[in-house]
Amino acid sequence: MQFLRRQLPVIIAFVVGLSMWVLFYVPTQKSLELQDGFTLWVRIIVGFAAVLGVLSVVNHHYNKIKAKRPGYAFSFITLGAFLLMALSGFIKAPLPGFAAGNNKPDSLHFWLYNNMMLPMQATMFSILAFFIASAAFRAFRARSMEATVLLVAACVTMLGRVPLGELMKLGDPIFLGGPAPIDFPWWSSWLLNVPNSAAQRGILLGVYLSQIAVAIRIIFGIERTYMGGGD
Amino acid sequence: MSFITGDAAKQRLIPLLLLGALLLLPLAGHGQEAAPPEQGEPAAAGDASAPGTAAEAPPPLELEPLSSPPAAASVSSAAVEDVPNDNGQALGVSFDWAEPAAEGVTVSVELKPDSAILEEFKLSDAEQARLDSAREKLKSDLGSLIADRDAKALEVAAADEARTAAKNVITQTKDYAGLAELERAYWKAKSEMDSLQDRIDGVQNRFAARGGRKLLEKQRKYEYLSAALAAEWLPTDIAGVPAAEVDSRGAHAPLYGREPDNAEQPWLMVSQILAPLPEALAAQAEELHSSYGEDLAPGIPFPLKNGQQYQVRLAFSGPEGSSPALVDAGPGTPRQSFFKSTLASHFIIATLYALIILSAIMLARRNPNLFIRRIAGLEAVDEAIGRATEMGKPVLYLNGMDALSELSTLSAINILGRVSRRIADFDSDLLVPCRDPVVFSVAQEVVKQGYAEQGRPDAFRASNIYFVTDDQFSYTASVCAIMIRERPAANFFMGYYYAESLLLAETGASTGAIQIAGTDSPNQLPFFITTCDYTLIGEELYAASAYLSREPLLLGSLKGQDVGKALMMLLILLQTILFVAQFATGNAAGEPWDWLVKMVEPL
């Protein structure tokens, strides 16, 4: 049992991890087929895990209703909506105004998705605009040198991206062919392409090197927390 | 307990494995392409030593007799070569214009394969019997379903037309009852058609389940290909390419991993032959459709086969439909490479980096007292959990939006393991809503283990780690609702996030929770920095597990990372200096550092 829980997963991680690394450099047909095979296995595992997910959702909300925890009324709605979507997907009987079958563009299932799911998703996404405003207000308060630089950079970038900023061009070019002191589109592009890109690349370089290190730790069984195992 | 580093015997495995990895290096030469032929030389197909290739029997350049009207283009030489760094399913065809191509000239590549390629698709007697039986059953099951469905489809189209016409004039006619009647007629017909289609799909699925579909596909491939082979020369995926749009070999430099020789030479890559619908089958098309529901494809593409020799010729067509001028390019054999030479430098660097990290890990075993700089966000973990305990509120932990196959999610899970042990120590509540069912299963197991290791298995509540939904904004809405209802005192946002990052973090900030985020998504970092108390930036997310555990082996890997990073910085600096030097000398070839430039350039 201990072998199955601890050592076998590490052996599998080692063999598969190393194989995938080597296969990345081998372009043969067999290598490609093997890589496709691994991808297929992942899809199969995800398929099984989806059943666990559904059970978890139902169990979580059932317990919430049973214990009458705060907000349990929402659990009724969740379970009801879950049931409705599932039934509309499984039942083939035609309903008035909807196409028969469960996988047709005019079916109830698709109608529910297009007229309920999508508007609700769009609503959540649109709230982002207001959240950005409040976050920007907090970030742009010039309380320190860094915050002031951020404020100035943000103002230049925003002005460079709107038509008004394009009209505000003042002064002669600082150097031959260079920008004017006030040329928001140019400075905005410069901010994005030079300091911003440099910082992002620095972060990403660290991320990629770290990812390789984590992969090595996992392949060689040094990092095993993700298996639920200790040391 | 460690698999690799646990005892001395197993430790010996590491150098052996590394040695094995290094032994792979010599393979780098195997897949390299043969040198492109010199202009005017006969065809040289791929590996010069391979039997049956052009190098063995160089055919003379043969211009086939031109039919009248005269040839559309004049070509001085043509050759076939293997495509480097591929899986052996493509051939490169190069040629040289003797004079500039006239306007409107198009180029096609035609292949003559050996009839041996048919063998792969030939059904055995047993397979043929199985197919015949399955098709017989399919025919009897379908009965008149196809004809009924087709008739109903016509009825649906007519009903749709009628209701659309009525809708267009409804403001004038005001005949709403008539329109409702037409709508009912449309939906009734559509419902009946869908029902028929479902029955057809069911029958077809049963045919596929009996293995009939695969066998039928195999048989059709055989029939298409055998008919095409009778015509000798088969069209390919390179057909009717305007002369002006023919790529040069240099345009395919990524295949070579460097600027190839003869970079300016016109070069076409063929990867498929196309077998058109045979006439004999086309004559049966109606019968096959009505009896078996089978719709014949106008043509079937066949990828070139590794190790199979093909005769290649170029066809140049003129602008006014003149007969094509045919140029024999000789035989060619696609061969698969065993190592992507384009990734040789990548492989060397990755191996070197892996060695550095493994060495650092081994050094850390000898000297466990390693200094790791303070990471404020991780120092605050205890503070956040302590605050939650004091307030009697739960801790909310999110693993990001990606699947477990992403390393950022794995790192988030690793941190969750460490955090759950602290939470078990502090006797606080932990909520982990998950977006991915696999992540949910793993997170539940990791937290359970964390509680067990701290001697508090009784405090673990499986119901606190649950799957919510895999829909991005539904998940966000749910987590925001949890923040508002449960009022967690500490929120952890670890892993990769998308547009929802600000929605989550801003909602958390509005509830007054102490927030610690960690992400490697550069686009979401500003939002977390703005709204969270502490943010782990990029690589800090991956260092967190080691930092929290303080295990020498894990800390050793961090040291290895630092060495790797220093090496990378040196390489970048070196590359910059070399390019500046090259620029200063006017890119003159033959400089003493040219070899270094060539080595560093692909990095």
Neighbouring residues of A147: CB distance < 8 A, sequence distance ≥ 6: A139, A140, A141
Q: CA-nearest residue of chain A to B87?
A: A28
Nearest neighbour of A211 by CB, restricted to B436, B481, B542 = B542
- Does residue B69 have a cis peptide bond before it, meaning omega lies within 30 degrees of 0? yes
Q: Render pLDDT for A48-77 as a digit per residue (tens, 0 to 9).
A: 888 999 999 999 999 999 999 888 999 999
The token duo for B470 is 């895999």
Q: What is the DSSP string of B308-352?
A: --EEEEEEEE-TTSPPPEEEEEEEE---B-SS-GGGHHHHHHHHH
CATH 3.40.50 domain residues, chain B = 376-550
pLDDT at residue number B593: 63
Which H helix or E strand runs over A153?
Answer: helix A145-160
Taking residue A39's Cβ as centre, other Cβ atoms within 10 Å add up to 11
- Alpha helix (H) ranges present in B458-551? 472-486, 500-510, 525-531, 539-549
A197, B531 Cβ separation under 8 angstroms: no
Contact status of A2 with chain B (Cβ, < 8 Å): no
Per-residue pLDDT tens, chain A, 231 aa: give them.
678 877 898 999 999 999 999 999 999 989 999 999 999 998 898 888 889 999 999 999 999 999 998 889 999 999 999 999 998 888 877 676 776 666 677 788 888 999 999 999 999 999 999 999 888 888 877 678 888 888 899 999 999 999 988 888 777 776 666 788 888 999 999 999 999 999 999 999 999 999 999 999 999 998 888 877 544
C-beta separation of B258 from B96 below 8 A? no
Neighbours of B513 (CB within 10 A): 26
Mutate to test the interface with B, among A216, A218, A224 (most CBs of B within 10 A): A216
Please answer yes or no on whether A203 and B551 come within 8 Å at the CB atom.
no
Q: What is the dihedral of CA B113, B116, B117, B122, to 10 degrees?
A: 140
Closest residue in B to A23 (Cα) is B339
Nearest CA in chain B to A60: B463
Predicted local confidence at residue B273, as pLDDT? 95
Q: Do A134 and B85 touch (CB under 8 A)?
A: no
CA distance B35 to B46: 8
**By three-state DSSP, how is residue B597 classified?**
helix
Q: Given CB atoms, is A218 within the 8 Å cutoff of chain B?
A: yes
Residue B449 with chain A: CB contacts under 8 Å: 228-230
Complex prediction ipTM: 0.90
Q: Which of A7, A92, A205 sits opposite B568 (nearest CB)?
A: A205
Residues within 8 A of B (CB atoms), A 174-203 only: 200, 203
Q: Do B410 and A214 count as a contact with CB atoms less than 8 A apart?
A: yes
Token pair 């979401």: residue: B524
Contacts of residue A4 in chain B, CB cutoff 8 Å?
Answer: none
- Which residue in B481, B493, B390, B490 sits closest to B430, CA to CA? B490
pLDDT at residue number B81: 92
List the one residue out of B24, B31, B121, B28 whose CA is nearest residue A28: B31
Q: From the first residue on, what is the mean pLDDT of each consecutive set of 10 residues in chain B (603 residues)? A: 40 45 41 38 35 40 42 76 91 90 87 91 95 95 94 95 92 89 89 88 94 95 94 92 91 86 92 94 94 94 94 86 83 93 88 93 87 90 94 96 93 93 93 95 93 93 94 95 94 96 95 96 92 94 90 90 90 84 69 63 56
Residues 135-164 of A with CB under 8 A from B: 135-136, 138-139
Neighbours of B374 (CB within 10 A): 7
Chain A CB contacts of B186 below 8 Å: none
CA distance A214 to chain B (A): 7
Which residues of chain A have a CB within 8 Å of the CB of B31? 27
Position A49: which residue type? A
Whether B536 contacts B407, CB under 8 Å: no
Name which of B393, B589, B416, B347 is nearest B508 in CA terms: B393
As a three-state string, the secondary structure of B70-127 is: CCCCCEEEEEEEECCCCECCCEEEEEEECCCCCCCCEEEEEEEECHHHHHHHCCCHHH
Q: What's residue B502's pLDDT?
A: 95
CATH code of the domain occupying B376-550: 3.40.50
The CA distance from B318 to B69, in Å, is: 9
Cα(B279)–Cα(B296) distance, rounded to whole angstroms? 11
Across the interface, which of A49, A227, A228 has its CB nearest the CB of B438? A49
Q: What is the mean pLDDT of chain A?
A: 87
Would you state the pLDDT for residue B134?
Answer: 95
